[in-house]
A and B are shown apart, each in its own frame.
Chain A
Amino acid sequence: KAGVTQTPRYLIKTRGQQVTLSCSPISGHRSVSWYQQTPGQGLQFLFEYFSETQRNKGNFPGRFSGRQFSNSRSEMNVSTLELGDSALYLCASSLSGQGASYEQYFGPGTRLTVT
């Protein structure tokens, strides 16, 4: 099976702009989670989508949003970018159903740089 894919891999944006990142989960996986990784804050949970519904949400401002499509692909959007949003954004997918083993499989990430 193909792994989790994320596009684009690298992105440079200017403060105040918005950005959309895309994630395609492993085939058959219905849960998609997003994490932000920075040197200072480490890995932090953004949100999780399951069957097109946000099921969990982390402590991030409303500028961070996401959605999931019927094919389980997910996008996250960051509006009004700030310098502090520069990070590696990781997407993870999971089966997340009855009897599922709960592990998440991560994509390679999108490196966002805000200038």
Chain B
Amino acid sequence: AQSVTQLGSHVSVSEGALVLLRCNYSSSVPPYLFWYVQYPNQGLQLLLKYTTGATLVKGINGFEAEFKKSETSFHLTKPSAHMSDAAEYFCAVSVIQGAQKLVFGQGTRLTINP
């Protein structure tokens, strides 16, 4: 069965610093990978996705992620953190083409220090 592990339930960075949120997945078949963000009292917003093709994917708000099959990783990065990036971030995997079942990691709460 597929699974997702997010390393670090809490990450704190200074404004302007690099943001790195780690995600490793387990899957016996090529996965579809997603990063979502959740602001307080809101639903999930898609940041970016990897399905096939280019392994470096760019998303909204300056975020990007790189799919590394050999490391089974899909880490999320942003070169320069903004205060508005403070939220909870979820990595998710879907392994069945066309199936709409996402398996989520436990989430990483990102705090931005002024």
| Interface of A toward B, CB cutoff 8 Å | 4, 31, 33, 35, 42-45, 48, 50, 55-56, 58, 90, 92, 94, 96, 100-109
- Once A4-B43, A90-B44 are accepted as A-B contacts, the answer to whether A102 and B94 lie under 8 Å apart by CB is yes
Query: Is B63's CB within 8 Å of the partner chain A?
Result: no
Q: In the bound complex, how far is the Cα of B50 from the Cα of A105, in angstroms?
A: 16
Closest 7 CB pairs of A and B: A106-B43, A43-B104, A106-B44, A108-B43, A56-B101, A48-B100, A31-B100
Complex interface: chain B residues within 8 A of A108 (CB): 41-43
Contact of A106 with B45 in the complex, beta carbons under 8 Å? yes
Q: In the bound complex, how far is the Cα of B67 from the Cα of A113, in angstroms?
A: 38
Please list 21 pairs of residues, one from A and one from B, whose beta carbons are closer than 8 Å in the complex, sorted by A's number.
Answer: A31-B100, A43-B90, A44-B104, A45-B102, A48-B100, A56-B99, A56-B100, A56-B101, A96-B100, A101-B51, A102-B98, A102-B100, A103-B34, A103-B46, A103-B49, A105-B46, A106-B36, A106-B43, A108-B42, A108-B43, A109-B43
Complex interface: chain A residues within 8 A of B106 (CB): 42
Complex interface: chain A residues within 8 A of B90 (CB): 43
Nearest CB of chain A from residue B64's CB, rounded to whole Å: 16
Query: Is B11's CB within 8 Å of the partner chain A?
Result: no
Interface size on B, residues (CB 8 A): 25
Query: B58-83: contact bitstring with A at CB < 8 Å (1 yes, 0 no)?
Result: 00000000000000000000000000
Complex interface: chain B residues within 8 A of A101 (CB): 49, 51
Query: Is B103's CB within 8 Å of the partner chain A?
Result: yes
A103-B49, A106-B44 provided; 20 other pairs, C-beta below 8 A?
Answer: A33-B101, A43-B102, A48-B99, A55-B99, A56-B101, A90-B43, A94-B100, A96-B98, A96-B100, A101-B51, A102-B32, A102-B49, A102-B94, A102-B97, A102-B100, A103-B34, A103-B46, A105-B46, A106-B43, A108-B43
